[in-house]
Amino acid sequence: MRITISGVQLTGDLAVPEGAKGLVIFSHGSGSSRLSSRNRFVAEHLQRSGFATLLFDLLTEQEDQYRENRFDITLLTTRLVDVVNWVQHLDEVKDLHIGLFGASTGAASALGAAAALGSDIIFAVVSRGGRPDLAGPVLAEVRSPTLLIVGGLDEEVLDLNRQAQDQMQCLKDLEIVPDATHLFEEPGALEMAAQLATDWFRKYLEPGKQHPLRE
CA separation for the pair 45, 23 (Å, rounded): 13
For residue 65, what pLDDT is reported?
66
Average pLDDT, the chain: 89
Q: Is the pLDDT of residue 210 over 70?
A: no
Torsion of CA 129, 134, 138, 141, to 10 degrees: 10
Look up the pTM and report it: 0.91
For residue 215, what pLDDT is reported?
46
Least reliable range by pLDDT among 57-61, 171-175, 200-204: 57-61
- Domain range list for the chain: 2-204
For residue 71, what pLDDT is reported?
67
Q: Is domain 2-204 in CATH 3.90.420.10, yes or no?
A: no
Q: What is the DSSP string of 151-170?
A: ETT-HHHHHHHHHHHHH--S
For residue 69, what pLDDT is reported?
61
pLDDT, tens digit, for every residue of 62-72? Answer: 776 666 666 67
Dihedral-angle region of residue 98 (phi above 0 means left; psi in -120 to 50 means alpha; beta otherwise): beta
For 195, other C-beta atoms within 10 Å of its C-beta total 13
Query: Mean of the pLDDT values across residues 51-55?
Result: 96
pLDDT, tens digit, for every residue of 118-133? Answer: 999 999 999 999 899 9
